[in-house]
Each structure stands twice: as structure tokens, then as C-alpha cells.
Amino acid sequence: MDIFLLLIGFLFISLGIIGSFLPILPGPITSWIGLLLLQFTDVVPLNWTFLSVTLIIAVIIFFLDYFIPAIGTKHFGGTKNGIYGTTIGLIVGLFSPIPFGILIGAFLGAFIGELIHDINDTNRALKASFGALLGFITSMFIKFSISLTYFVLFFNSFWQYKSAFF
């Protein structure tokens, strides 16, 4: 059973890293589930403080993920239309066959949303689109950093008790 939990935990950790780049999958929370599964093995001693702190961080990042792109758009002069456009662009970009479709989708979505708000102000729309893109990249970097940290913690715990697993 321990090997099964280890493998499923590793799967969740890996999905968490992938989820750092996909807006549909909550990266840090998915990675945290991997940590939780590893802690539930008989080999690794259960540490509730460790799990609580890492969960709190994952939840905070989960909520910040929804605000950071909007803050970027707003900071660069965007409106609600730009924020909605960013979200729609992210979803459309996710299914785009072109490389970096998510980034292009976020930028174009914010730009189109801002143009819907005021078709004559392309400079402000471009500036707000840049803010949305910058916010999305910042959010993605934060999620990736946390998920990668959880991967290192997972691997470190496994390595410490590897002889008991095999």
C-alpha cells in the first residue's frame, strides 16, 4: 500500500507542476495532495504541522491566482471588460493548438475586452493587455515555485526513508 501511495503522491506532485501552467488545474493544491499522500504512508512519520503550513500556503496561492492577473490589468489601467477578456482569453488559449496559446489568449482577451469598453483608446487597451499578461506570468511563476518546492519536499521525504519503501 505504501508503494501505491508513493506513486499516486508522485503523480499528484507532477500534476501540480503541470497545473502551474494550466488555469484549469490548481497547481499548488494538487501538489499538496501529493505531500498528503506521502505523509499517509506507514514509512513517513505523519507531521500535522508540516501539512498544515503547506496547506495554508497552497490555499493562499490558490486565491491569489485569481487576483494577480486582475491586479495586473487594473494596475495598468484596465477595466472589468479587460479582466473578463483576460479570463476568456486564458480559457480559449488553453485549447489553442499554437505554442504559448495561454499567454497569447490572455493578452488578446484583455485587449479585445478593453476595446469593447472603449474602441477608440487602443493605447490604454494595449497597456492593460500588457498588465494582464504580466499578472498572468507572475501568477504562473508563483504557482510553479510553490509546486516545485513541494516536489523538492516530497523527494526529500522519500529520499530520507527510501530504504523503508523498498
Q: What is the pTM of this model?
A: 0.82
Instruction: pLDDT band for 60, please (50, 70, 90 cuts).
Output: very high
Domain ranges of the chain: 2-165
Number of CB atoms found within 10 A of residue 87's CB: 20
* Higher pLDDT pick, 99 / 50: 50
Report the alpha-carbon distance of residue 157 to residue 154 in Å, rounded: 5
Give the number of C-alpha atoms closer than 13 A to the C-alpha of residue 23, restricted to the C-beta side.
24
Amino acid at the residue 104:
I
pLDDT tens for 135-152 read 888 988 999 999 999 999
Evaluated on CA atoms 44, 50, 55, 61, the torsion sign reads negative
pLDDT tens for 70-129 read 788 778 888 888 888 888 887 888 788 777 788 888 888 889 988 888 888 888 888 888
